[in-house]
Amino acid sequence: MRPFNLSERILLIIFFVGMARYLYGTTIQSGTDTYLYHFFYPATWIADGRISRVPLLGLPHEYFPIYGEIFYGWMMIPFNNSSIAIFLQLILLLAIGSAFLMIGEIFDVKRTACLAALDIMFYTRLISANSVMGYSDVLNGVFLTLGFALMLLSVERKDWRISILSGLILGASASIKLIGLMLTPLLTAFFSIIFFCAKKKLRKNIIIMDIAAFFAALPCYLWNWIDTGNPFYPVKVCIAGLDIFPNGIVFDRPAAGLGKAAIELFFSEGIWGLNYVSLIFYGAVPFAALAFAFFVKKTKISGYVVISLAIAVIGLFLVQIYYYPAMTGARQFIPLIMLSSLLLIPFADSIRDTSFPFCAVIVFLICVVLNFTTWEKSAQAVLILLLSIALLAFLSGKLLRKAFPGIYLLPALYIPYCFTISLEAKKVCYKYLLGPVAAECFDIVMTDYEKGKKVIVASVGGWYNYMFLEYMPGNKVHYIPISSVNSAHVHDFSSFREMRETPISYEIWLERLKKANADYLLIDLSSETNGFYNKQQELSWVSGHPESFTKLIDDGLHIFCRIKNNE
């Protein structure tokens, strides 16, 4: 490997400064979906010793693709908690660097250009802020982008083994999130058709890749098909007025479309929105790439690849904005933004560095502009600016030419520190992130657990059930149904309403609690879901039977009780 030039060293330093900044951000585990299911599911699977459906009252998440949760589960196994798992998305951003460098290798593009595109992608606040949480949007983007890069590599080298690897990764991308199911097959099919028609010699490899992708994604959707009769449940599939898979759930989350609603939902200056600078920047990228490929033509990357990817990005955005339910806000665009970042490579490749690192300076300024309106504190901006200036000055010396390889080790050495901070923060994070009531519930369960008791919590509408499992392996959280069918899975009913509108008797419900060996009952009336019907039912039973329940917490919205008969 040839030595790094000045621009490349600066770009790597910019990347690792950001990596260190966000590694520290992982020390406090936050994010609603982190507790709702991304960590809750694998923790439950580990406690049960098997992968199974974990119902969430009023929500269809048990039918969503689960590969992201499986990846988190693998990282939970060594310590039986999420202390290491929380780093998954951020560490995988290192893996996506291989995708950018792979593009450079395929098309003989300067390494500087690949690192420049990587830095800009990483410093897009929506991506970096999401990467420190236990979510799977960045994870999905990594698999989508890496799978696409491997597709190009398999075409360039005509290697069926790389085709299989590309297919497996693309199949996994389609099985991490529902947005992956929408984007990945469309992207794969689009480029499969292009390469299939381009050269006869590529057809075998393309077919192998598509078959590998199909079988990699199959388990998630086959499981749904067997249980519900619809591989894409809870989504009803209707084509040209013909019901293909009519069995599904009517869930009030329409697509945003292009208009005022989309602006209000997706674009803001906070960490959960796509700020207007990023919107303008990434909105211009595919169109600028088209113009660049048609008129400038000074890139080593094949023109048809740039044109095809730009068209694909525009098309996928339109499909997403008009057809994908607006459930997760701007972060649903993270996989597409990460993919479109590859289009930055030909622009960066056209910048000619002399003795002055023009490319690195331009990238640094872009990174600052992308983040200028979303840094929480001006001190952070000043810190990063001063640190970068100091590093740039240091890089100009001869000393770093010998010491530079050690820079790679800094994030690795930083991880144990962040891990230690995470352990220290566990006792206070629930109070600040989830509220004092959740923290008090956590303390009650932890007190029992520290006495050697494995605790079972019956949860009605709870969104933060994972807090009863984190640092307490062996604990379990269940929803105890109130219907005569005695099922917590909505596919056994016609709707969420049917699950709860005709409750069984109190005596039968209490017997179910005892059979589940539940120690505590949590009722969360604050849950924001359209599917939580008859919210007051369990509360009315608890209030009417003090002989069976001891209320420990009751603030009107959160009720936490000890079940007396199971003490």
CB 329 within 8 A of CB 272: yes
Cα–Cα distance measured from residue 203 to residue 158, given in angstroms and rounded to the nearest whole number: 10
CA 439 centroid distance within chain: 25
| Long-range pairs, 550-555, Cβ under 8 A, ≥24 | 552/444, 553/437, 553/440, 553/441, 555/437
pTM of the model: 0.89
Render pLDDT for 390-435 as a digit per residue (tens, 0 to 9). Answer: 555 555 544 455 555 555 455 555 556 555 655 556 556 666 566 7
Q: Measured between alpha carbons, how far apart are the two ends of the chain, in Å?
A: 65
Domain boundaries, the chain: 6-29+82-394, 426-566
Maximum Cα interatomic distance, the chain, rounded to a whole number of Å? 82
pLDDT at 64 over 90: yes
pLDDT at 27 over 80: no
The rounded mean pLDDT for the chain is: 83
Cα–Cα distance measured from residue 47 to residue 473, given in angstroms and rounded to the nearest whole number: 7
pLDDT at 268 over 70: no
Q: Residue 559: beta bridge partners?
A: 523, 554
Q: Cβ neighbours of residue 268 under 8 Å, at least 6 residues apart?
A: 274, 275, 330
| Amino acid present at 143 | F
pLDDT at 560 over 90: yes
Sign of the alpha-carbon dihedral angle for 156, 159, 164, 165: negative
For the segment 47-56, the average pLDDT, to the nearest whole number, is: 92
pLDDT at 101: 87
pLDDT at 237: 81
Cα–Cα distance measured from residue 12 to residue 3, given in angstroms and rounded to the nearest whole number: 13
pLDDT at 435: 73
| Amino acid present at 374 | T
pLDDT at 379: 45
List Cα–Cα distances, 55 to 58, 162, 390, in angstroms.
9, 38, 52
pLDDT at 409: 53
Encode burial over 408-418: b for 16+ CB neighbours within 10 A, e otherwise. Answer: eeebeeeeeeb
Cα–Cα distance measured from residue 402 to residue 390, given in angstroms and rounded to the nearest whole number: 18
Query: Nearest to residue 307, comparing CAs of 322, 297, 319?
Result: 297
Lowest mean pLDDT among 52-56, 77-81, 101-105, 268-272: 268-272
How does residue 305 score in pLDDT terms, banded at 50, 70 and 90? confident
pLDDT at 324 over 60: yes
Q: Does the bond joining 234 to the residue before it have cis omega, within 30 degrees of 0?
A: yes
Please report how many Cα atoms fall inside a 13 Å half-sphere around the Cα of residue 70, on the Cβ side.
16
What are the φ and ψ backbone dihedral angles of 459, each rounded to 5 degrees? -110, 130
Cα–Cα distance measured from residue 565 to residue 548, given in angstroms and rounded to the nearest whole number: 6
Render pLDDT for 479-524 as a digit per residue (tens, 0 to 9). Answer: 999 999 999 999 999 888 999 999 999 999 999 999 999 999 999 9
| Long-range pairs, 551-557, Cβ under 8 A, ≥24 | 552/444, 553/437, 553/440, 553/441, 555/437, 556/525, 557/524, 557/525, 557/526
Cα–Cα distance measured from residue 71 to residue 60, given in angstroms and rounded to the nearest whole number: 20
For the segment 366-395, the average pLDDT, to the nearest whole number, is: 59
pLDDT at 38 over 80: yes
